[in-house]
Amino acid sequence: MNEFRKDFPILNQEVNGHPLVYLDSAATSQKPVQVLEVVRKYYDFDNSNVHRGVHTLGNRATDSYEGAREKIRKFINAKSTKEIIYTRGTTTSLNTVASAYGRQNVQEGDEIVITYMEHHSNLIPWQQLAKEKNAVLKYIDLEEDGTISLDTVKETITPKTKIVAMTMASNVLGTINPIKEVAKIAHENGAVMVVDGAQAAPHMPIDVQDLDCDFLAFSGHKMCGPTGIGVLYGKQELLENIEPIEFGGEMIDFVDLYDSTWKELPWKFEGGTPNIAGAIGLGAAIDYLTNIGLDKIANHEHELIEYALSEMDKIEGLHIYGPRDPKKRCGLITFNLDGVHPHDLATVLDMRGIAIRAGHHCAQPLMKWLKVSATARASFYIYNNKEDVDALVEGLRAAKEYFNNVFE
């Protein structure tokens, strides 16, 4: 057992006649009652639009919505809540950086540097920006073990580089990247550092001032919060100089017939009625995670994957991708089992109540780099325990046996 499982009522069910073993938190995490109750309470008592009503409910909603922004600021140690913009999720955050900052600052012949391990959401926005601007998109090559070498980073980033975009933790390899060091190299070359924090924010402490990154994107739903809410952090001096890309209610100062002015940060980037319940829910998720402690969460996951790696290694024909050192990894393991296609594997495991992910994980260029068309992925979070790992390993053995028999 594990002390946090009781907070997640969804885990207390049977799937296909077996207790649910949820190993797909890298896709989306489960939500604790502490978050569900806060969202419920908002709709039961405070539901109202923000920043406009003079009435009491409007004030309460606004206070909770802006209170959550302060929680997020503290969570990543930003200097000011002006630097915290609510979005729909990581994808929207990264697209906003590309469409707003990127379009306004990248010129023909400039370079944009990313890596082979990026999720499509931190790849396609840059690819399309490069196409539009006739800029050069460059990829930082990976080492054999799926890590990044700072020497390669130094070779790839040049004074022509305007943007370096990199994930803090890979959703496939599990690799944790040296963001602070890369940001330093980016800055020495006059580029800004954009960080995809989708797989990092739920699992490890993040300090944007220490990392000195210029933009950071992450999603609420992977960190015990609701879907449809995410964050874009940007340094204030950069955000001040970027024009908004969405226009409408909430984001304006004065509107004239032929021109308008914008609200101050962060609201100039938040056109339209926002996802108020989502933001408040994310605030509650941050409370939940910080009460436990991000270091404790990271340690728990390291223990689990260390155990999982050693148990999975005992299965003949099982290949694990990414760095072998558990300390260089976040809490997920991507693998393939000889003779069993990942989809078939996921179906066999599902029949045993075990949820894993199978496919290309929104990282097709990385799949090419790994020379596979698909992989299976098990990902862990605070509510997982060793019994979950044992169930997975037993399921993998059963799948192997099942398919081997079929082939005999």
Partner 1 sequence: MSLNNLDQLYRAVIMEHYKKPRNKGYLDENNVTVDMNNPTCGDRIHLTLKINDGIVEDAKFDGEGCSISMSSASMMTEIIKGKKVEEALKLADIFSKMMLGEEIDEEILDELGDIAALQGVSKFPARIKCATLAWKAMEKGVSKEIE
Is beta strand 215-219 parallel, antiparallel or unpaired with respect to 192-196? parallel
Q: How many residues bind partner 1 (CB under 8 A)?
A: 23
Q: Rg of the chain over CA atoms, in angstroms?
A: 22
The first and second tokens of residue 172, run together, are: 């496939």
- Contact between 17 and partner 1 per CB under 8 A: yes
- Tokens encoding 23: 């190993």
| Torsion of the alpha carbons at 73, 76, 78 and 83, rounded to the nearest 10 | -60
For partner 1, the binding residues in 68-107 under the rule CB under 8 A are: none
Minimum distance, C-beta of residue 360 to partner 1, in the bound complex (Å): 4
Catalytic residue status for 330: no
CA distances from 24 to 9, 89, 313 (A): 16, 18, 20
Q: Which is nearer to partner 1, 15 or 137 (CB)?
A: 15
Judged by beta carbon, residue 245 or residue 367, the one nearer partner 1 is: 367
Query: How many of the other CB atoms lie within 10 Å of CB of 259?
Result: 7
What's the residue count for the chain?
408
List 10, 33, 57, 406, residue binding partner 1 (CB under 8 A): 406
Distances (CA, A) of 233 to 64, 85, 244, 318, 357: 19, 6, 15, 39, 29
Q: Tokens 């290694």 identify what position?
A: 313
Site for partner 1 in 151-190 (CB under 8 A): none
Q: Distance (Å, rounded) from C-alpha 65 to C-alpha 276? A: 6
Instruction: List binders of partner 1 among 300-359 (CB under 8 A).
Output: 341-344, 346-348, 351-352, 358-359
Q: Which residue carries 């694990």 as its tokens?
A: 320
Residue 65 · residue 279 · CB < 8 Å: yes
147 residue type, one letter: T
Encoded tokens for 245: 């890309």
Closer CB to partner 1, residue 182 or residue 348?
A: 348
Nearest to 343 by CA among 375, 315, 367: 375
Residue 137 binds to partner 1 (criterion: CB under 8 A): no
- The answer to the question of residue 374 lying near partner 1 (CB under 8 A) is yes
What gap in Å lies between CA 146 and CA 323, rounded to an integer? Answer: 6
Kindly state the smallest distance separating residue 340's Cβ from partner 1, in Å. 9
The least CB distance from residue 400 to partner 1, in Å, is: 12
Q: Between residues 31 and 357, which has the closer beta carbon with respect to partner 1?
A: 357
For 321, the 3-state DSSP assignment is strand
Nearest-approach distance from CB 27 to partner 1, in angstroms: 12
Among residues 58, 367, 390, 397, which is the contact residue for partner 1, using CB under 8 A? 367
Active-site hit among 213, 224, 330, 362? 362
- Residue 344 Cβ, how far from partner 1 at the closest point, in Å? 5
Nearer CB in complex with partner 1: 16/299: 16
Site string for partner 1, 18-47 (x = CB under 8 A): x-----------------------------
Interface with partner 1, residue 398, by CB under 8 A: yes
What are 397's two structure tokens?
């053995």
Instruction: Establish how many alpha carbons lie within 13 A of residue 34's alpha carbon, considering only the half-sphere containing its beta carbon.
Output: 18
The Cα 366–Cα 123 span in angstroms is 11
Minimum distance of partner 1 from residue 16's CB (angstroms): 5
Residue number with CB closer to partner 1 (183 or 358): 358
- Residue 339 CB, shortest distance to partner 1, in Å, is 10
Least distance to partner 1 from the beta carbon of 390, Å?
Answer: 18
Cα 93 from Cα 215, distance rounded (Å): 9
Stretch that binds partner 1, among 10-18, 43-51, 181-189, 221-229 (CB under 8 A): 10-18
Nearer of residues 184 and 341 to partner 1, judged by Cβ: 341
Active-site residues, by number, are 362
Site of interaction with partner 1 (CB under 8 A): 16-18, 341-344, 346-348, 351-352, 358-360, 364, 367, 373-374, 398, 402, 406-407
